[in-house]
Amino acid sequence: MIGTPSPDLAETREPMTFDRVAIVQGALDDYLAGGSAGAEPLAPNQPIRPGSGLTARTAIGLFEDQVLSREIDVAARELKKTNRSFYTISSAGHEANVTLGAQLRITDPAFLHYRSGALMMARARQLPGTTPAFDALLGIVASRDDPIAQGRHKVWGSRPLWVPPQTSTIASHLPKAMGLAFSLARARRLGVDHELPADAIVACTFGDASANHATALSAINTARYAVRIGLPMPILFVCEDNGTGISVATPEGWISATFSGLEHLEYVRADGEIDGVWDAVTDAIRHVRSARRPAFLHLPTIRLWGHAGSDAEQGYRSVSEIAANEAQDPLLRTARRLVESGAASTQTLRAIVSDTRERVMAAAEEATLRPRLETTEEVMAPLAPYHPARVAARADSPAADAARRHEVFGDTLPEDSPLPNARTLAGCLNAALADELARRPEVILFGEDVGRKGGVYNVTNGLQRRFGAGRVFDTLLDETSILGIAQGAGHIGLLPVPEIQYLAYVHNALDQIRGEAASLQFFSSGQFRNPMVVRLPGLAYQKGFGGHFHNDNSIGALRDIPGLVLAVPSRGDDAARMLRSALAMAAEDGRVIAFIEPIALYHEKDLHADGDGGWLTAYPPPPSHLLPGEVGVYEPDDAGSADLLIVSYANGLRLALQAQRRLRERHDLAARVIDLRWLNPLPFEAVRTHAEEIGHVLVVDECRRTGGGVADALIADLAEAGIGRRLGSVRAVDSFVPLGTSTSAVLVGPDQVLAGALAVAGRRSPA
Ligand SMILES: Cc1ncc(C[n+]2csc(CCOP(=O)(O)OP(=O)(O)O)c2C)c(N)n1
Ligand SMILES: [Mg+2]
């Protein structure tokens, strides 16, 4: 059908005036140029409509904030003409959201849509001394002086106004907003200090197209589910419904049909003139605040001037549609309402408009002169803070106290336990989690089945019984919400340890880690943080169980995340020590840590032969920890110099240690084995040091060959540094993992490790 325009498109051939900004501005000016309609002037404290909660004085303030927001949008487009601004997605047409900014408190955390500019202006009015318009302009020109993101992104955000910055990923902020609402009362009950008052609520705003997103539906569903199981969930979901997502229209009535009448979700439509919107917003906030239950505020809006400055709206809308839309300009409507009700004269409003225009254009010019981030160090400064000495001190404190013996572990401490089960990887993790829960009142542990059942693999056995369901709890089956709860909890000082039941299923919700949790410090210049240690049982080699989804052997998607710490312990004592450091890093530096627990090793006892107990370890009581970069070193039996170095982790470490013995016994080769323990950042320095000393290096990587594991990075690093005489690797093949015994066809096995070792040792040519 190329070349045959549809009737709709044909319509767009109408003559078009492209400067729609001037047209909309002109319409407001024309209206205000007239005299007042002769309404009786209202006193400042009088409602603008009998029975409304909106007074004349407040309404004038709302208009001011609407105009302020509008002028920022105009300035962004103006500066764009000379390439001095970098962001033109505007709030124009959405300014009815100003009513939320004035009525939510600045102690009600707000997670905002990119069109919530007027809301932000009104919110800032509650804190004298703030300069929200100038701050926004600094963001638009990407200046280092932007107080929230320092130019790393244009976001709505402010620490003093409790507005954490949000990413561009639509709907991705709803789960964390829900998670914060979930956590408010819990933190208080657990005695974790946060600055928010007991009746605080959480608000999040989003668009109508975004309301269809799985991530939005996930958060809304979990909010309702929480009510169903009797938990407080004080969250206000605000849908700023402009009827379109870029160029795709939302079906008429879709939002109300989808979100009204749902159990455990109060639906409020905030429609009509500014006073009607105001009153509906009052009701919605009151409901959430007093009932501690969620509400869905449906805020119909329009969108002016296309999706962004670059969006040629006339390509998908006719000029008459555009003009009809512009006639609904909320500024014009507010002005008319104020004038017709007697709340303000046209002269007053005209003065507000002209004064605001002048101020904002001057501020915009000033913003363009402000400095930008320049160096790599400046840009990256808040991405991944790390203070090893402080982390180490935190890992060791508070000291395990006397209560450990009786209250936490009963009469037998795990380090004294005669039971071998206490010294498997699972046993050590269980004890380490208990120690952390006991030492750190802010730790909460949650996920699918971690509570009553104690985890699919018994790792969290008994923890709910000992520490209560306030701290160790089951969640619903939704990884997005689990990670949303973790983020929200982290925002107010809890130290969340969410579990994703299998590594394969983190992909189901990966953006919550990748786009959201891991980026918060970066986009807030370190002012907001969501520390967490995400437990991820994973990797392959479960004997005869599960197929791919329970044996996923790729960590590529995690290693790719800037700033994410990836811990992969292989044995119980290491796991306990690493868990302490992981929690300390989260607490001290606000870091997000993925903690992969190799499932196949959870209950493994032996190393070389049945019954040898070679994979059991003593439980190291605190204080004792392992930091990133501290690798495990396993020397060959006799202390002589090693012929080759084998570098590995997790199940691969076990294979490497088995190979170490075979190399000695059958080939008279001495191999030193190192356990990387931390796969992001990789301990390059330690590997280089050992490699330089020994020369021949084999990397045993149980993860997938291409990008799934760490062999690429390690070998490349050694090669680039010119270290090592013969370098080799064994890796799993690029396949999904099959069911049953066929797994050996795709995973790294003992014979391959041996062959690889012989090859780098020069005993055999590489296969
Ligand atoms: C997850 C995701 N997919 C796609 C996009 C690209 N995108 C940005 S805004 C947008 C439309 C959003 O529409 P709506 O939620 O109605 O908000 P509006 O812009 O209309 O206020 C799209 C598709 C995105 N930012 N995030
Ligand atoms: Mg929309």
Q: What is the pLDDT of residue 766?
A: 56
Q: What is the number of the ligand closest to the CA of 166?
A: 1
Residue 685: how many other CB atoms lie within 10 Å: 11
Confidence check: pLDDT of 12 > 80? no
- Index of the ligand 1 atom closest to the CA of residue 113: 21
**pLDDT in the model for residue 767:** 54
Query: pLDDT-derived band of residue 2, with 50, 70 and 90 as boundaries?
Result: very low
Predicted TM-score (pTM) of the model is 0.96
Instruction: Report the helix count and the strand count for the chain, using DSSP H and E.
Output: 28, 19
Question: Which atom of ligand 1 sits closest to the CA of residue 240?
Answer: 21
pLDDT in tens, 245-297: 999 999 999 999 999 999 999 999 999 999 999 999 999 999 999 999 999 99
C-beta of 115 in contact with ligand 1 (< 6 A): yes
CB–CB of 522/509 below 8 Å? Answer: no
From 155, 246, 313, give the residue whose CB has the most ligand 1 atoms within 8 Å, as the site to mutate.
246
> 355-364, 457-466, 542-551: which has the minimum mean pLDDT?
542-551
Beta-bridge mates of residue 47: 55
Answer whether 207 contacts ligand 1 (Cβ < 6 A): yes
Burial of 290 (0-12, 13-18, 19+ CB in 10 A): exposed
169 close to ligand 1 (CB < 6 Angstrom):
yes
Question: Going by DSSP bridges, is the β-strand pair 632-634/671-675 parallel, antiparallel, or unpaired?
Answer: antiparallel
What does the pLDDT look like over 117-172, one tens digit per residue?
Answer: 999 999 999 999 999 999 999 999 999 999 999 999 999 999 999 999 999 999 99
What average pLDDT score do residues 531-539 get?
98
By alpha-carbon position, which residue is closest to atom 18 of ligand 1? Answer: 207
* Ramachandran angles phi, psi of 642, nearest 5°: -90, 150
For ligand 1, say whether the CB of 299 is within 6 Å of any of its atoms: no
The answer to whether residue 685 scores a pLDDT higher than 70 is yes
- Predicted confidence at residue 416, as pLDDT, reads 84
- Give CA angle at 691 (689, 692), nearest 5°: 65
Question: Any idea which of 52-66, 382-396, 576-590, 630-644 has the lowest mean pLDDT?
Answer: 630-644
Query: Which pLDDT tens digit goes with each residue over 690-745?
Result: 999 999 999 999 999 999 999 999 999 999 999 989 999 999 999 999 998 899 99
Residue 10 confidence (pLDDT) above 60? no
Phi-psi map region of 204: left, alpha, beta (phi>0 left; psi -120 to 50 alpha): beta
Find the 170 Cα to ligand 1 centroid distance in Å: 5
Ligand 1 pocket check for 118: Cβ under 6 Å: no
Please give the pLDDT value at position 117. Answer: 98
The Cα–Cα gap between 430 and 465 comes to: 13
User: Does 36 have pLDDT greater than 80?
Assistant: no
Instruction: Please tell me the number of the ligand nearest to residue 94's CA.
Output: 1
pLDDT at 523 over 80: yes
Mutational pocket test of ligand 1: of 87, 169, 210, the residue with most ligand atoms within 8 Å of the beta carbon: 210
Nearest to 91 by CA among 242, 233, 232: 242
- Mean pLDDT confidence for 225-241: 98
Surface-to-core class of residue 619, CB atoms within 10 Å of its CB (0-12 exposed, 13-18 middle, 19+ buried): buried
- Residue 602 and residue 619: Cα distance in Å, rounded? 14
Q: CA 186, 191, 196, 198: dihedral to nearest 10 degrees?
A: 70
Check pocket membership of 516 for ligand 1, CB cut-off 6 A.
Answer: no
Nearest-atom index, ligand 1, CA of 250: 16
